Structure 1
Amino acid sequence: MPRLLFPLLLLGLPLAEIAGFVVVGQWLGLWPTLALVILSGLAGTVLLRIQGLDVLRQINAEGRAGRVPGEAIVHGALIVFGSILLVLPGFLTDIAGILLFIPGFRRLIWRMLGERLVVRSSYSARPTWDPGTRRGTDQPTLDLDANDYQRGPNPDSPWKNGPKDGA
């Protein structure tokens, strides 16, 4: 059943959007329908800017407080997705995009997704996966003192005078 859902959605959504254009076009006329499509795209970009900056402030505040900003990150992703839906031409995608800009609706989605998502609060800058053994590796940490490492020109470097002219 899930395999059948994606092709139906892929084919059904454009057909439903075309039908929506026809119905709204007959009801309002050509130019008001086109104006609605253009205004919904502009509204998507304006709402992304306004609510997106608010979510970025929330993420920053959560990070400074030492908490993982999982909910704020999901809210931000939903706002971006909602603005993409508003920019796409069509009335069904506009309705879905407007719903994603409503904070209560985003909280409902977070409640449904929050149980299934795991937000990690730490990361490693280097890979801890060894493809040869197919398991994690414990790489040793090299701790250097200030006199063990120095930054400056290396007299043995071939680049000490810059690149040669004929190269």
Structure 2
Amino acid sequence: MRKIFLGFIVYALAELALIIVIGQNIGVLNTLLLIVATSIIGVYVAKNKGMNSVQKVKNTIARGEAPGPALINALLNFSGGVLLALPGFLTDVIGLLLLMPFSRKLFQPIVFYWIRKKMKNGQFIIVQK
């Protein structure tokens, strides 16, 4: 629990320092406009890419294929949009990395590993109807 709390503190301080540095370089108003613009783009991306990803998952299931890769892509697309919507530049960079196809492939094995680990420990259960 302490590691998580410490992680949030370090993240918040890094985000604040980055906003201050960017604000000094491009101006306060431009920095605020950039934060608002990325938030609007993030909401748009989360909504549209999220719906497209859900449709791809449905199509994959309808074809009788395992939806694993499609679900991971949907998760990463939605997470990228949400991170873009959050104010801050570190979250924007991570969100953009999750949305770009070439860098998303780097995150897919990490997510698969995390899900397998949770399933092995009984913390992640898949229910089939």
TM-score by length of 1: 0.64
Tell me, yes or no, if structure 1 residue 73 matches structure 2 residue 78. Answer: no
In our comparison, the structure showing a higher alpha carbon Rg is: 1
Tell me, yes or no, if structure 1 residue 123 matches structure 2 residue 128. Answer: yes
**Cα pair 1:100 1:106 within 8 Å, conserved:** yes
Q: Distance in 1 between matches of 2:114 and 2:24?
A: 44
2:25 counterpart (27, 30, 38): 27
Which residue number corresponds to residue 157 of structure 1?
none
How far residue 115 of structure 1 moved from its aligned partner, in angstroms, is: 4.3
TM-score by length of 2: 0.81
Q: Distance in 1 between matches of 2:113 and 2:92?
A: 28
Give a deviation string over 1:98-144, Cα, whole Å, max 9, x none: 111112222222223324535887625xxxxxxxxxxxxxxxxxxxx
CA shift in 2, pair 1:14/1:121, >3 Å: closer
- Alignment of structure 1 residues 5-24 onto 2, 5 Å: 5-24=3-22
Per chain length, whose mean CA-contact separation is higher, i.e. which structure has more relative contact order (CA < 8 Å, sep 6+)? 2
2:43 counterpart (41, 45, 50): 45
Q: Distance in 2 between matches of 1:92 and 1:116?
A: 22
List gaps (5 residues or longer) in structure 1: 125-167
How far residue 73 of structure 1 moved from its aligned partner, in angstroms, is: 1.1
- Structure with more of its chain in helix, by fraction: 2
Q: Give the superposed CA RMSD.
A: 2.2
How far residue 46 of structure 1 moved from its aligned partner, in angstroms, is: 1.5
CA shift in 2, pair 1:35/1:66, >3 Å: same
Which residue number corresponds to residue 141 of structure 1?
none
Give a deviation string over 1:11-50, Cα, whole Å, max 9, x none: 0111111101110010011110000000000110111233
**Cα pair 1:17 1:91 within 8 Å, conserved:** yes
List gaps (5 residues or longer) in structure 2: 120-124
**What percentage of residue pairs aligned between the two structures are identical?**
29
Partner AA of 1:113 in structure 2 = V
